[in-house]
A and B are shown apart, each in its own frame.
Chain A
Amino acid sequence: NAGVTQTPKFQVLKTGQSMTLQCAQDMNHNSMYWYRQDPGMGLRLIYYSASEGTTDKGEVPNGYNVSRLNKREFSLRLESAAPSQTSVYFCAGDQGVSGNTIYFGEGSWLTVV
């Protein structure tokens, strides 16, 4: 039982390049999330998917797109990377019910130069 798995773990991009962060969960979660973590700012929600086939913007969606490919997979795409997108990205999932525990992947460290 892998939980929430995200790839790649580390990536260096040049400004303007594109890339996709992949996330898969085997916990039968209804909802999935992408967060970014920056020093002194905690975790900020980029996009989320309340259920298969739906996606919605979070707190900081600009410069990102997402796809909920099926119930298991939720990808995050940077179309034209910028240095301001240097961050640690976390995928997470839960049942989408108030009070539920959210489960996190181990993070993807992205550097844009």
Chain B
Amino acid sequence: AQSVTQLDSQVPVFEEAPVELRCNYSSSVSVYLFWYVQYPNQGLQLLLKYLSGSTLVKGINGFEAEFNKSQTSFHLRKPSVHISDTAEYFCAVSDSDYKLSFGAGTTVTVRA
């Protein structure tokens, strides 16, 4: 099974500032990569995913992520955050075994 490392457990950021959440995974022949978001007291919902093709993936709410095979990374970025982006973000990976492996999560707190 894949393993996923989210390098930051907490990321405080001011409103309208950019944010980057880092994710690395254990290498494999081919992987599928995901970012999920969890708003307070809710389940997880998909932000974006990489299956193949362009390494820059755009998701909902202005988020994007870049797949870097040589560095086995899939970092998530947003150029300008809003208060409503306060949430926990999970990186996840699957390979030919379709089950997902999740990282420990990164809590983003956006301050005015």
A residues sitting closer than 8 Å to B (CB atoms) are: 4, 31, 33, 40-45, 48, 58-59, 90, 94, 96-102, 104-107
Query: Looking at the complex, which one of A45, A90, A99, A105 makes contact with B51 (CB distance below 8 Å)?
Result: A99
Evaluate contact between A48 and B42: CB separation under 8 angstroms. no
For the complex, would chain A's binding face be called helix, strand, loop or mixed by DSSP majority? Answer: loop
Q: List 28 A-B contacts (CB under 8 A).
A: A4-B43, A31-B98, A40-B105, A41-B104, A42-B6, A42-B102, A43-B44, A43-B90, A43-B102, A44-B102, A45-B99, A45-B100, A58-B99, A59-B1, A90-B44, A94-B98, A96-B98, A98-B32, A99-B32, A99-B49, A99-B94, A99-B98, A100-B98, A101-B49, A102-B100, A104-B43, A104-B45, A106-B42
Number of A-B contacts (CB under 8 A): 55
